[in-house]
Structure 1
Amino acid sequence: MNKVIDLCLSKFKQSLHEVSPSECVKKALHITSTNHLHIRNNVYELHENVHIVAFGKAALSMVVGAEEQLGRHVIRGIASVPVGTRFI
């Protein structure tokens, strides 16, 4: 029975991770080998020219996802989160 509980708990944690704001942002940003950023039907040329603006309860997590995906292309950013917001 413990194996079943452990498996269920593991899958639950994995599911939470997959729908986290950080992961959702990373999945939404598709970068090609030619440094083009694809977001839905829009394409942007990347050359260290990205500014990030975020606000709200999920802003911190979303910024982390964007930075992980965009890397060196992020040159500046600002995020406003409610007082007491914790990053998970």
Structure 2
Amino acid sequence: MLSTSDLRLLEEIKSWEPLKGDLSGIVPVKQVALQYYPDYHPQSASRALRMSIKSYPLLSHALSLVGWTSPKRNFTPRQTAVLAHYLGTP
């Protein structure tokens, strides 16, 4: 069961804008990672993004509330909205 604060956060997340353009819809983690880390090799960019998520507890928690876990290979529009909210638009 979700806490009251988690329910509030989920409601707030609904109003956040997902990423646009090439990053709209369901997108591979690698594609999003390369936008945040453009100078990295694709695999390194994915690893760097996953480490950023892991080291940022608020981001990690918000992503878990919208169904993302580290082994997943894709982000949904709602999950990209969470990324953009916490990390900024790439």
TM-score (normalised: structure 2): 0.26
**Higher normalized strand content (fraction of residues):** 1
Q: Which structure carries more relative contact order (alpha carbon 8 Å, separation 6+)?
A: 2
**Higher normalized helix content (fraction of residues):** 2
- Bigger Rg, which one: 1
TM-score (normalised: structure 1): 0.27
